[in-house]
């Protein structure tokens, strides 16, 4: 069974009409940032979106689908 989690992805914009990449902020300074190319994330309008991720063995995290904001997030 693959490992799955819900994460908040943020958009990194170069200009108003060009999106460069998306990222997940690490929970602490010692953890690395997780980056996604624009073609790896389903389109969404906001600057921040919640997504279900799945860990692919040997390749890191893959975006599965967008989900509503979790109840545990303020």
The per-residue pLDDT for range 7-33, each reduced to its tens digit, is 999 988 887 777 678 888 877 778 888
Asked if residue 18 belongs to a domain, the reply is: yes
Q: Which domain holds residue 35?
A: 4-67
Residue-level pLDDT at 62: 93
Asked if residue 46 belongs to a domain, the reply is: yes
pTM of the model: 0.81
- CA angle 56–5–2, rounded 5-degree value: 40
The phi, psi pair for 36, rounded to 5°, reads: -135, 140
Asked if residue 32 belongs to a domain, the reply is: yes
Residue-level pLDDT at 7: 92
Nearest in space to 66 (alpha carbons), one of 53, 54, 47: 53
Which tokens is 37 given? Answer: 């190319």
Indicate if the pLDDT at residue 58 is higher than 90: no
Domain tally for the chain? 1
Residue-level pLDDT at 17: 73
- Average pLDDT in the chain: 87
Q: Are 16 and 24 in contact (CB under 8 A)?
A: no
Asked if residue 10 belongs to a domain, the reply is: yes
Asked if residue 74 belongs to a domain, the reply is: no
């Amino acid at each position: 069974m693959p490992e799955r989690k819900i994460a908040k992805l943020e958009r990194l914009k170069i200009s108003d009409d060009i999106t460069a990449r998306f990222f997940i902020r690490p929970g602490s300074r010692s953890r690395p940032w997780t980056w996604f190319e624009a073609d790896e994330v389903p389109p969404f309008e906001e600057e921040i979106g919640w997504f279900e991720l799945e860990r692919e063995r040997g390749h890191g995290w893959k975006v599965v689908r967008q989900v509503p904001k979790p109840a545990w997030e303020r």
